[in-house]
Structure 1
Amino acid sequence: MLMCLFSQEQQGEVAITANLRDSPCKIELSSLVPPNGPPRATFFFPNGEVSIKEKILDERDRILSVNGLVKSRVLHGVCTAVYNDNVMSIKYRYKDDEVSFIPSISLPSNSLSFAFKRQLTPLDKLSYWYNFDTNYWGAIYKHKAHKHLKWKAGYESDNRLGWASLWVGDAGGSTKEAPLKAKIHLTLKVPQDNIQNSVVVFHVKKRWDF
């Protein structure tokens, strides 16, 4: 199968994909248009993909870059390993109807972090994350009054910032279905070190039918 995509600047990408008979695996060769080097080769298999492409470090130095992703179910959860430019990130995600637990580690830096989410009630949710390498943490509390009204409040220790947001209208839905065909997003940001520099960010999306 051959696919060509061009942008307004007459640049795009062309790709050729070959299926391996009855196997779920396939190989794809892709290149920019106009080309700036050898094509990128990607091997797709049921649990992930591996790609090889040329990476330009400077005008004279070019290397082959290997990137990959593998995903598999482990102990009632999903484990994902991503390799990119000699850095590997391994993340495990466990989720049920009430709890999500997501530990992750980055190699070779051994940077460890985790995220925890708890569905307190059908309308209330608490999220927390912590990075063991930097000791930074954050927390978010979300309450959804109904489909078209919800608010969040949180704190980010790395930015020393507290904030609160209010949504009127379904954030993930269309404006046409929202009350008065409008969606409003209001955010208050309060720096811990200088409360006087607090700011309010206001977004409105309105639909008119003529």
Structure 2
Amino acid sequence: MAAPALLSAPQPMDGDGDGVAPHAAPSPTQPPPERGFLSRRPPVRVTSEFDSERKLFSHRISCRVLDGLAKLRLRVHQGAAGGVGPGPEVALVARNFSVVVDTASRGAVLRGAADLAGSLRLRASHNTKEGLGEVAVTTNLGDSPCKMEISSLVPPDGLPRATFVFPNGEVSVKEKKLDEGEKILSVNGIVKSHVLNGVCTALYNDNAMNIKYRYKDDELSFIPSLSLPSNSLSFAFKRQLTPSDKFSYRYHFDTNYWSAVYKQKASKHVKWKAGYESDERLGWASLWVGDAGGKTKETPLKSKIQLMLKVPQDNIQNSIVVFRVKKRWDF
């Protein structure tokens, strides 16, 4: 590495040779010194998490490589008190290509995508351990916002799946194998529509349908839901009491199970919650420091902390305290 110049170069002598150059032109600007290895390396981000309920430490190290075109990521898990967690995972993620390697199973998942002629787009994935993959081709239908996708497993296991995507939902047709070995065509889909100042969603999957209606304004949310053919009915109710207080309630008519949650936001980065779940006969309260719903980089001090108390109704003496910590460092 070239060291920066400490003394300027001597001024040239003029034509008379008397060593005086009253009107000598200034020396050209010196090029900036070359940067060292540490200044040329990409920024490195280290994120550490601990979950006391799972007794698991998780560490993630990531940095941009290839002039920012891809991200290199390393995940390491470690069980507390000598426990064993999932094996390390190494990933290289780019815009149209990614490879994730599970060092414990010695397997990798490769994914890629590419634009073909016109509006055709190809995407593919392959799991080296299982020897299975998928190939899909998507295209726009003329100038309309609708799309058509044809996908198939590799190696093939029946007819390819066809999916039609339109602005208010999508419908897919695929071949399904029954327990008796017979193959039939299965139709799945989801449709959304605005009804009475709300959004109605119908989800159809394997001969079962769920119809959900969601009404929401600045202070109130009401979400009834009906499942067919079981006729299971439930509803959720959310009410913004004040700008910092919110109450939500959910009830299932077929089981009589219900749950309630009260939330209060003391500040942008401090909030606490309390609730009860009748199916588990469990009451709980939690305190969040940091943006509970946001990413770590959006929180103060680059960290998030959750402290939760769980109190079983049938055995208060078995109450437990659970805490989760997430901390980030940038180098």
- Does residue 193 of structure 2 align to residue 193 of structure 1? no
Q: Which residue of 1 aligns with 2:169?
A: 48
Report how far residue 11 of structure 1 moved: 4.2
**Larger RCO, structures 1/2 (Cα 8 Å, 6+ apart):** 2
- Does the 8 A contact of 1:87 with 1:108 survive in 2? yes
SS at match of 1:22: coil
Q: Distance in 2 between matches of 1:112 and 1:100?
A: 17
Q: Distance in 2 between matches of 1:62 and 1:30?
A: 18
- Call closer, same or farther: CA 1:74–1:177 in 2, change over 3 Å: closer
Q: Which residue of 2 aligns with 1:159?
A: 280
Amino acid at match of 1:72: S
Selected match of 2:156 from 23, 35, 48: 35
Report how far residue 158 of structure 1 moved: 0.9
Q: Distance in 2 between matches of 1:8 and 1:51?
A: 24
- Does the 8 A contact of 1:187 with 1:201 survive in 2? yes
Q: Which residue of 1 aligns with 2:217?
A: 96
Aligned pairs for 1:3-18 within 5 A: 3-7=122-126, 9=128, 11-18=132-139
Report how far residue 160 of structure 1 moved: 0.8
Selected match of 2:242 from 115, 121, 124: 121
Report how far residue 8 of structure 1 moved: 5.2
Q: Which residue of 1 aligns with 2:327?
A: 206
Amino acid at match of 2:289: V
- Does the 8 A contact of 1:116 with 1:129 survive in 2? yes
Report how far residue 52 of structure 1 moved: 0.8
Amino acid at match of 1:73: H
User: Under a length normalisation based on structure 2, what TM-score does the superposition of the two structures give?
Assistant: 0.60
- Call closer, same or farther: CA 1:45–1:176 in 2, change over 3 Å: closer
- Does residue 143 of structure 2 align to residue 22 of structure 1? yes
Q: Which residue of 2 aligns with 1:2?
A: 121
- Call closer, same or farther: CA 1:140–1:42 in 2, change over 3 Å: same
User: Under a length normalisation based on structure 1, what TM-score does the superposition of the two structures give?
Assistant: 0.93
Amino acid at match of 2:157: N
Worse-matched range after superposition: 1-10 or 120-129: 1-10
Report how far residue 59 of structure 1 moved: 7.3
Q: Which residue of 1 aligns with 2:195?
A: 74
- Please list every run of 5 or more consecutive structure 1 residues that lacks an aligned counterpart in the other structure: none
Q: Distance in 1 between matches of 2:164 and 2:297?
A: 42
Amino acid at match of 1:61: E
- Please list every run of 5 or more consecutive structure 2 residues that lacks an aligned counterpart in the other structure: 1-119
Amino acid at match of 2:158: G
- Does the 8 A contact of 2:123 with 2:137 survive in 1? no
Q: Distance in 2 between matches of 1:46 and 1:83?
A: 17
Amino acid at match of 1:2: R
- Does residue 267 of structure 2 align to residue 146 of structure 1? yes
Report how far residue 36 of structure 1 moved: 2.5
Report how far residue 187 of structure 1 moved: 1.4
Amino acid at match of 1:152: K
Worse-matched range after superposition: 132-141 or 171-180: 171-180
- Does the 8 A contact of 1:4 with 1:12 survive in 2? no
Q: Of Structure 1 and Structure 2, which has the larger fraction of its residues in strand?
A: 1
- Does the 8 A contact of 1:2 with 1:14 survive in 2? no
SS at match of 2:329: coil
- Does the 8 A contact of 2:127 with 2:133 survive in 1? no
Report how far residue 104 of structure 1 moved: 0.9
Q: Distance in 2 between matches of 1:47 and 1:123?
A: 34
- Does the 8 A contact of 2:263 with 2:271 survive in 1? yes
Amino acid at match of 1:86: N
Selected match of 1:133 from 244, 248, 254: 254
Q: Which residue of 1 aligns with 2:107?
A: none
Report how far residue 106 of structure 1 moved: 0.6
